Amino acid sequence: MEDAFIGRQAILDLQKSVYAYEILFRSGLKNAFDPNLDGNVATQSVMVNAMLNFGMKKLVSNRKAFINFTEKNLLSRAPKLLPPDSIVVEVLETVQPTPEILEAVRDLKDAGYKIALDDFVLLPGYEPLINMADIIKVDFRMTTDPEERANLRKVIPPHVRLLAEKIETEDEFRQAVEDGYVLFQGYFFCKPVVLHQKRLTNNELSRIRLLKEVNRPNFDFNAITEVIAADTNLVHKLLTYINSVGIGLTNHVSNLRQAAVLLGSSGIRSWVTLISLQTFSEDKPSELFTLSLLRAKFCELIARRLNRRDLTPDTGFLLGMFSLIDVLLNQPMAEVLKEITLADELNAALLGEDNDLRRLLDLVISYEQGDWSSVAACCEHEHIPLGEISPIYDEVLEWYNKLQTVC
């Protein structure tokens, strides 16, 4: 069976909360759709993979999934393979508004499906499709003329929501809001907005001190438990975590010292990192914390698969968790790392230097962004069979969904 990847990209609302995820299918060695791969097959593969291999709930965390459908998919009513409350039907830009297509889309609307028009360009004859649409997706970078942007909002019915694609900076996000867009797709939310004079809160300072303590070369259980004991909220979180189903203990733990010993140094380090980033992300888009967690587990599991002495799963977890800490704290990565005692190679990787850890992080980020050709190149360099990556990502999503019940 040919290797295939399923990726997801967040779609955010005006509050930068996750509204939905777009589900993307790619043949294993291509960054864009393979020209030799029938689009109908690609869409069917998305649905089969989502339902059978990943599971829709696990893949989109109880949000809607945007899925592309070709003309043949629509005419065969393929979207009806999935429940209407779980997906948004994306009509590809190549679909012509023929009477048969209009009938198919109307039938889907009547069945309760939301309709989105992908890569929208205003063309004659598309008015019936526009009127049936719930969401219209526009490549924001292709509509740079202010007059063109203003006219777009005028010709689209008031009930239709505008979604701006390829929003990569905070300035583009603000401009899109001004232009009437209410949904946004791109990686603007995980780009650092550096504020050199930003004052850290007492909670943030406390977590940084704790991070520094757990990352010292000589791990001191007594010193760490004393710091945790001074914060009743932390004690409660730690005991909740260790008594969760995910940890797998048979007896209830109610003693802080016992909890710390049972977790061990690597377990405490991972938990402190997780809780700290949760604190740092309180005033940030929730997807930032989600990405940090997914990167951490992805790096950990790939490191375990590589089974190398110089790249432990614990180091992989920390690498992923810290990869967005500059964005969470609105400070340059170099300044943040001065406050935390991390291993030299981990520091170097987080600062962008080329080493084994950086290449691991690059692999994970490439998968996250659907850059499949880079994923293939990274896998080849690390001698990982391409077909092993999607099952690892599946395990990451399963872990993340379980974690939501204890954090």
Q: What are 250-276's pLDDT values in tens digits?
A: 678 888 888 888 888 888 888 888 888
Q: What is the pLDDT of residue 251?
A: 75
CATH architecture, domain 4-189: Alpha-Beta Barrel (3.20)
Q: What is the pLDDT of residue 47?
A: 61
What are the structural domain ranges in the chain?
4-189, 202-403
Q: What is the pLDDT of residue 235?
A: 87
Beta bridge partners of 165: 139
Q: Between 286-306 and 389-403, two packed helices, what is the crossing angle to 10 degrees?
A: 130
Beta bridge partners of 26: 5
Range of weakest confidence among 70-84, 162-176, 186-200, 313-327: 186-200
Which pTM was predicted?
0.79
Domain 202-403 class, CATH top level? mainly alpha
Q: How many Å apart are CA 183 and CA 90, to the nearest integer?
A: 15
pLDDT one-digit tens code per residue, 30-60: 434 454 556 566 666 666 565 556 677 778 8
Contacts 24+ apart (CB under 8 A), 44-47: 44/73, 44/78, 45/4, 46/6, 47/78, 47/81, 47/82
